Amino acid sequence: MNNYCLCIKYDGASFFGFQSQPNQRNVQDKVFAIIRKIFGKINKHSFSGRTDSGVHAENQHIHFVSDKKVDIQKTEYSISRMLPIDISIVSLRYIRSYKDARREAVSREYKYLFAHNDYPYYLNSRIVKVNNNCSIKDYNNVAQVFIGTHDFIYFRKKGSEEKSSIRTIENFSFKNKLFYDIYDNDKSFNLIEAHIQADSFLYRMVRNIMGAVFEVVSGRKTIESLQELLKTGSGKFNYPVVQAKGLTLYKVNY
Domain positions in the chain: 2-94, 107-253
What integer best gives the mean pLDDT of the chain? 95
Per residue in 37-49, pLDDT tens? Answer: 999 999 999 999 9
Note the pLDDT of residue 235: 67
Q: Which CATH number fits domain 2-94: 3.30.70.2190, 3.40.50.620, 2.30.290.10, 3.30.70.580?
A: 3.30.70.580
Q: What is the pTM of this model?
A: 0.94
Q: Is the predicted pLDDT of residue 163 greater than 90, yes or no?
A: no
Give the mean pLDDT of 45-63. Answer: 96
Give the mean pLDDT of 199-219. Answer: 96
Per residue in 68-116, pLDDT tens? Answer: 999 999 999 999 999 999 999 999 999 999 999 999 999 999 999 999 9
Q: Is the predicted pLDDT of residue 233 greater than 70, yes or no?
A: no
> In CATH terms, is domain 107-253 a member of 3.30.70.660?
yes
Give the mean pLDDT of 127-152. Answer: 96
Close Cβ partners of 199 (under 8 Å, ≥ 6 residues apart): 106, 107, 167, 168, 170
